[in-house]
Amino acid sequence: MADDHAVVSTGLQLILNQTIDLRLVDKTKNGEDLLEKLHQNRYDLVLLDISMPGKDALDVLKEIKVTWPSLPVAIFTMNPDESFSSRMFLNGAAA
């Protein structure tokens, strides 16, 4: 999971662990750290916050889809603007 807000990432981790059979293995605070972890480990799913410091989430998504095209990436945001999610889906986001 890549999210720069500790409260959000911790809360989301608790919710996911209680509701579905999922084990959160790593958390990062920005896209650069996420990409580094992806190069070092194998993951089944990436949860990516649209709005983080550093590298733009859309650029991170594009890089993930080029390097790991079959890796599902789920995007989450608190921004109600649908254009963000539309761009993410057009660039390979699974959810």
pLDDT by residue for the chain (95 residues), tens only, comes to: 666 667 777 777 777 677 767 666 778 888 999 999 999 998 888 988 887 778 888 999 999 999 999 999 988 777 777 787 788 888 888 87
Query: Domain range for residue 43?
Result: 6-90
In angstroms, rounded to a whole number, what is the distance separating the alpha carbons of residues 31 and 33?
5
In angstroms, rounded to a whole number, what is the distance separating the alpha carbons of residues 41 and 57?
20
| DSSP letter (8 states) at residue 73 | E
| DSSP letter (8 states) at residue 9 | H
pLDDT at 3: 64
What's the domain count of the chain?
1
Whether 1 is in a domain gets the answer no
pLDDT at 72: 94
pLDDT at 40: 92
pLDDT at 94: 84
| DSSP letter (8 states) at residue 49 | E
Q: Side-chain half-sphere of 21: how many Cα atoms within 13 Å?
A: 0
Whether 95 is in a domain gets the answer no
